[in-house]
Structures are given as structure tokens and as C-alpha cells.
Chains A and B, each alone.
Chain A
């Protein structure tokens, strides 16, 4: 045993020029990512707008965040974002798990037809204007639930779910069926409990998509009561459309606080859920 181990010895780790260069490159890379984000964070706590990059705010204030949580014109979009994100992730999970589960029923007549019915939408679409006209016919213009409905159905996520479900041993289904379990029973009692990781990954993908959606609001919604926070933030910064406020802070402070509010939910969740986010990419792309 011992001899076999020393037969090949990895070269000893030594500090080479390469590894120093490698570290330096990555420090620079990390700074390039972090500096814009840190600048926004610091400026959101600073009551005066300045151009310099600083490590710490000089005139500390929380007023930027007070405005966001106190002004109806900003709080309402923030609430809309939370509501639509949660509803969108739930609807998305229900539809993608149902769709994915039915697509692995190899015994079901017409299964291929249904798969093509879904896949065709990935190849061809009616386009922006016909979609707009349909939504208008459905009475969904100026209605934030359009965000939920539009993201709730996502064919590529159905396919991801199917890929994941295919990995569950068919013998489990067979055994349950022999025991008299209904398809819905198998789905709820066997498939879903075995798919917690996939549910987390794909649920997060839906949530990020709804929370971050800006163009749907831009196209379909005008009413200030129905817009989401991403849209409000963008309009505020591009058009200087800030609500009147009693707090003595610069516009830039409010803009930066808005940016932080728009990324905070996922930045808080992210360190804990990173593996699920990453897994979502890998079930899709590297799956064999």
C-alpha cells in the first residue's frame, strides 16, 4: 500500500511566478466586480451625492431607505414586486412540475404529440405585437398579474423538470401503481418529495425572472399602481421622476438606495442558495 502511494508523487506546492500572477489577476477581477457595487452601497448611505469612490459614507443617513419605505409611489411598486415574484414562482413550479411529470409517462398515447406541442413554441413565436394584442383582448393591460401569467408558463423549465424526473427510478412509480396509487398521488407523494433540489433551483429561476423583469412592465403597464420596482427604479433614474420628499438627501442618494432595494432580496438569499442557483444551470446544460 505505502509503496504504491509513493510511486507517483505530486510536485510540492511552491510559490511560483504563475501563482502570484494568478492571485493578482483575480484580485483585480474581484475589484472590477465589487467596486461599482460598493460605490452604490456607500452612496446609498450618504446624504450628499459625490463622484469619488470611498470605502465608507461621510454623511451617514438612512433617509434614502426611509423614502423608499415611506413613499407610496415607491413602496407600492416594491410590494407589487414581492407579490408577483412569489405568485410567479409558485405558478411556474406548479405548471413546470405537472408538465414535466406528464412528459415522462412513456405509456401515455399522444405523449410525443404533447412534447412537440410544447417544443414548437421554443422555435417559433407570434412576436411582440400579436402577443400584446392577445393580452389586450384578455384584459391584462395595466395589470401586474400579467407578470405572473407571462412567466408562469416557461417551456424550457418544463423540459428541465422532465430531464430531472427522468432520473427517478421507474420502479418506484411501478410499485406505487401496483399499490393502487393514482397518478396525482404518485406525483405528490413520490415525485415531488424526491425532487426538492430541482424544485428549489427551478423555483429560484422563476423568482429571479419575475423579480428582474423590466420589459414586460415597460410594454404592458402604465398605471403607477401596477408597475413593479425595477420599472419604477429605471423611470426614476432616467427621467429624474422622484417623489417629493421632506428628507434632506440628494437625488443620487435616493437612486442608489433604490438600486440596493432592487437587488437586496436575492443578494441576501444568494450565499445560502448559491448551490441551487448553480445547479439550475447544470441540469440544463451539462446533463447527459
Chain B
């Protein structure tokens, strides 16, 4: 029987080769799934991965890529920071919603004042809202030792009910003729998160995502806090001897990831989504978990992974309108990608050995 043998050192080759291999495997198995659903697998894969970049409508769809990738990257970078330290914030979806509500509330409170400070104030409020929502699991973890996974996740459901309440009562558009949903930010120039470069789909959220990626990369590789995060994740005992304060680490990682998720929510609600509505959130907070792992918890890798995941969203929409592929199929596809990634990852730390080879290695 083939057996696993631990590598003395993690393989650098497989560290970088894992994501592409996982993507290829997902395409193959996903293709089989699409074929089983009676679609032409090659056509579907081409529609998802090729057409948005090089196809007929690419001039429009390329812009959509950054629109979708921006929030994913922003959230995933924050999550990756915590994941590296062994702090599992999986309630980014809730922080995203609360950030959007807080930011939007600031903008709507002063409607229809025109002032160039309104949008920056909304951005700060958005980040603050996300930070605050992430502080609940962080403080409960540091004070009472509760499990941050469960608390942050429960708060997603709480955030969703607050969102429902916001769009039907306290943030409802007074001129909306009774429909749920807030005023549309597209009709409110001072608070609108418009495109800076329309053809690229670049708005302030995209700028924030790319800048954050660079900043967090520097933090992780050059700053003592980044070192402590990596140390706490890889060798918790050594981190304690080194003098890493676990409380500060939890508060910092949860705070940064919450603030980034809140920012993503604000940029989304003031830009592409346009208004607070019951279902403006589209699950970015959960998909960002896949993005974080696909990018190997590395900020620069996450940028690439964010674009790849955006491709499956944009291409998936194309496939659902043109080829009648159910949108849930894309969700399955994304889940599969994470499975293959986690499975192939074994090769980074282990290698497969045939019994004969293992025997000779043992004899030496």
C-alpha cells in the first residue's frame, strides 16, 4: 500500500503548485458535474474562465471582475491574518453587513447635504461598524474564553435580522412608496462610491483592496506584529516564550479583519449595490474564506485568488444566462475548489512513498 511520509521541510514547489493543480482538478471534476447535468462541459468551462476576459463582451465583463474581486480580496486579507495566527473569524459576512449599515446610516442621516467630507465619514463609519461587530467575539474570547468560530457565526444571523429591520424600518426610503430598501446612493452624489475608471471597474473599494494587500504584505514580512502572527500560528508554545500577548493578538487580528469586512460592505452598498436592501449581501463574507485559502493566506496570493474567484462569479452569471446553468452550480464549483485545494495541500508537508522505496529508505 502507498503510504504517506512526512517531509523534513515543507516543499516550496508544492506550496506554489497546489492552487493551480487544485483549479485544474476542479475544472475536470466540475466538467464531469456539468456534463451530468446535460451541459457541454467544455463550453461551460470556457464560458466561465475564458469568455469574461477574452470573449465577445469582455470589454464590459473585465470591469465586473474588479467589482467582484475588490470586496473578496479586502475581506480575505483580513481573514487570512487571523487564520495565520489560529484565530478563526468566520463571521465576516456579519461584519460586512453591519459595516454597510453603519456607513450607509451616516450618509443617509445627512441626506441631502452636499459636502465632500460625507463619503470619507461613511468609510470611517463602515470600518468602525465592522470592527465593532468583530470585537464582540474577540472580547468574549479574551475575557471568557468562548469559541470565536461559533460566536462570530451566530452574529451573522443576528446581523441579517438587523439588516431586515434596517431595510424595512429605520433606514427605509421615506419616498420609496412602501417598498423595503433605503434611498439609492446613485442619486446622492456626495455619498456615492462611483467608478474612478469605469472601463476597469475601479472604485474606491478596489483601490482599498490593492493598497491593503500591499500594506498587510509588508506587515507580515517586515513588521514585528506580522512575525508574532506567524509565530503564534506555527508554534503557539514558542510564541508564549517569545512574549506574544495572546489577548492583544486576538483583538488585533479580529479588529483588522472586522474593519476590512466593514469597509468592503460600505464600498459595496454605496457603489455596485446602491442601497441597503434585505438581500444586498451576496455571501462575499463566506466566499472570502475560500479566497483566503486559495491565496495561501498570503496577501499577494489572495489578490490573484480574488480575481480567480471573481471570474467564477462573472463567468458563472454568463453561464447561467446563456447556457441555463443553475447559479447554485457555481457555489458547488467553488466549494469543490476548496476541497481539492485542501486535499492537494497534503503534498506540501508529506510525500507519497511506495512500500518498496520506504523499505530501502529505512534500511539506509
Q: Do A and B come from one complex?
A: no
Q: Give chain A's interface residues, CB within 8 Å of chain B.
A: none
Q: Give chain B's interface residues, CB within 8 Å of chain A.
A: none
